[in-house]
Amino acid sequence: MSEVPTRPAGYVVRRIPRGRQPVLDRLAGASRRFQVHALVELDVTRAAETMQAHPESDVSWTGFVIASVARAVSLHPELNARRAGGRLVCFDRVDIGATVERGTPDRPALDVVVVPAADRLTCTQVTALLHRAKVGPPPAHEVTRPMAAVLRLPSPLRRAAIRAAGARPGVSAQFGPAIGVTSLGMFAHTWGWAIPVAPLTVIVTVGSVTERPAVESGAVVARPRLPLTLTFDHAVVDGAPAARFVETLRDLVETAAALDGTNEGVPEDPDPMSRNTPTTTTGPGLSGC
């Protein structure tokens, strides 16, 4: 039997990598936001059957969810907005920000890929875009001279500068999409929710598809269920519009509408890729979007 160590455990002190600082700044900004969460579990029997019947389509669950979320947002455009001080920046194209895990020489790293005009893409196209982002060359994150100067500031000054810049609509519009999707299902069979990243108005956290008991015609049967956690920025979205969005998303997912390759019910747009021009509106409501 080995002896119990009596000396204190040792430790090593390392500096936080500079590349981690933007993440910490975003988390600090997110702590100032007011979040509303909705936990839903959706029956994906029809989607699972469709994927199994057409394996050549090569659709991932994350790709299916992104396409479904984008179609739901196009039907509720008031959610496709971001607060910038006392105004709202309203986007006219449904872009989705998605997290992917990219292999690096040191360790796996999370990166964000933008899926442009996601409501106009098929599930296969979205899945292929995510795969390219995961295994392809990493994007060049160009740092402008003003941003480099901001990054050199001490943390309190840097975060104050970022908050002040985010209050300007023209700057806030450059922060990326207002809608984000992140997947926990690729890592574990569990529920969860994302830490709210400051620029996102809606975050959809995707769990893993598992069989769960359901009641049909008085009998208990096993059905594949997809857990989703939806997080809304309450400064932009009230409870009632959020609830209506959740029900639209439920209908689109459970009917596997995005897998039929059409955009039924999605507003027409002859050239969606050519634009994403934000507009601004003043006031606490969303009537201007």
Q: Is the pTM of this model over 0.85?
A: no
Using an 8 Å Cβ cutoff, are 80 and 233 in contact? no
Q: Is residue 139 part of a domain?
A: yes
Report residue 94: phi and psi, to 5°. -90, 90
Domain boundaries, position 236: 18-261+275-281
Flag the least confident range among 22-26, 118-122, 236-240: 22-26
What stretches of the chain show up as alpha helix (H) in DSSP?
Answer: 21-30, 45-53, 61-75, 123-135, 145-151, 155-166, 169-172, 239-254
pLDDT per position as a tens digit, 197-253: 668 999 999 988 988 888 888 899 999 999 999 999 999 999 999 999 999 999 999
* Measured CA distances, 226 to 30, 47, 87, 211, 254 (Å): 27, 11, 35, 9, 10
The pLDDT, as a whole number, for residue 258 is 96
pLDDT per position as a tens digit, 158-169: 878 878 887 888
Q: Is residue 24 part of a domain?
A: yes
Residue with the two structure tokens 């810049």: 165
- CA–CA dist 263, 94 (Å, integer): 13
288: nearest Cα among 95, 85, 86, 90: 90
* Measured CA distances, 233 to 41, 72, 169, 196, 212 (Å): 21, 17, 17, 9, 31
Strand intervals (E) in the chain: 35-43, 81-84, 87-90, 96-102, 109-115, 179-183, 202-206, 210-216, 219-233, 279-282
Q: Is residue 1 part of a domain?
A: no
Q: Is residue 5 part of a domain?
A: no
Q: Is residue 61 part of a domain?
A: yes
pLDDT at 270 over 60: no
CB atoms within 10 A of CB 144: 8
End-to-end CA distance of the chain: 71
Q: Is residue 289 part of a domain?
A: no
To the nearest whole percent, how much of the chain has pLDDT over 70? 75
pLDDT per position as a tens digit, 40-71: 999 999 999 999 998 888 899 999 999 999 99
User: Longest C-alpha distance within the chain, in Å?
Assistant: 76
Using an 8 Å Cβ cutoff, are 190 and 60 in contact? no
Q: Is residue 246 part of a domain?
A: yes
Q: Is residue 268 part of a domain?
A: no
Give the count of domains, the chain: 1
Exposed (0-12), middle (13-18) or buried (19+): which is 190, by Cβ within 10 Å?
Answer: exposed
Q: Residue 182 sits in a domain of what CATH number?
A: 3.30.559.10
pLDDT at 263 over 90: no
Half-sphere exposure of 79 (CA within 13 A, CB side): 33
Q: Are strands 219-233 and 210-216 parallel, antiparallel or unpaired?
A: antiparallel
* Measured CA distances, 184 to 21, 99, 231 (Å): 23, 10, 15
**Mean pLDDT calculated for residue range 118-123:** 96
- CA–CA dist 81, 19 (Å, integer): 28
